[in-house]
Amino acid sequence: MGQRWTRQALEELALEERARIGAGPNAALDLSRLTLEWGVPVYATSELAEQGCTADALEHFAVKGARKWSAALVRSGTGYFIVENCSHSPQRRRSNVAHEMAHLLLEHEFDTVLFADDGCRSLDTSMKKQEEQALNLSAELLIPKKAAIKAAIAGWADEQVAQHFDVSIEFARMRMNPSGARAIARRYLAKRA
């Protein structure tokens, strides 16, 4: 739980996970292959009861309300499954599921259900740290920093990046600038000129 992950360690972990399913850094991530590889089923809310979800977990979802949460990682026996809120766009759902996978890959500890939602902001310090790690790792999984820099050097607009990696425009934008990809590309291109 207290493990410290540097940005570089997260970058490397994401590339390892991509390599595990035979994907390089520059392709759109096949998320279903990654969840399959880890033996983590992904269910829509409507499928939950028939999948034998515990009454406890079902109650969590009902109490949370349909709009307020995006996805959840649920412990089930010795394994895990992910529940996703299908009312979101397919691209948003990809980042939601990637976020939950990131918690799993980072071996974050939690009771029964770990939600990804707006409630994260009111978490205590150690949970906040885990949220930040999951956010950064899911960003690396969907668009590795390496690939973001390559796209920036190639002059791709945020829209192009979004389309290529099958993520929302907001996600692509968040990835291209705050990660420093465009600044690195500018320096690289200036040096080469």
Residues 102 to 121 in contact with Zn ion, rule: CB under 5 A: 116
Query: What's the min distance (Å) between Cβ of 166 and Zn ion?
Result: 21
Interface residue with Zn ion among 42, 83, 134, 149 (CB under 5 A) is 134
- Close Cβ partners of 188 (under 8 Å, ≥ 6 residues apart): 149, 153
Only one of the segments 39-47, 127-135, 146-154, 182-190 lies at the binding site for Zn ion (rule: CB under 5 A); that segment is 127-135
| Signed CA dihedral, 77, 32, 70, 51: sign only | negative
Residue 10 as a binder of Zn ion (CB under 5 A): the answer is no
Q: Please tell me the distance from the alpha carbon of residue 3 to that of residue 108, in angstroms, as a whole number.
A: 9
Min CB(172)–Zn ion separation in Å: 20
- Sign (positive/negative) of CA torsion 31, 36, 47, 58? negative
Query: Structure tokens of 1?
Result: 């739980």
Which residues, at least 6 apart from 14, have a Cβ–Cβ distance to it below 8 Å? 137, 140, 141, 144
Q: What's the rounded Cα separation, in Å, for the pair 6 and 29?
A: 22
Q: In whole angstroms, how close is the CB of 116 to Zn ion at the nearest point?
A: 4
Tell me whether residue 74 or residue 116 sits nearer to Zn ion (CB atom): 116
CB of 180 to Zn ion, least distance (A): 23
Contact segment (CB under 5 A) with Zn ion among 28-36, 38-46, 89-97, 134-142 equals: 134-142
Q: Say whether residue 97 binds Zn ion (CB under 5 A).
A: no
Q: Which residues bind Zn ion (CB under 5 A)?
A: 116, 131, 134
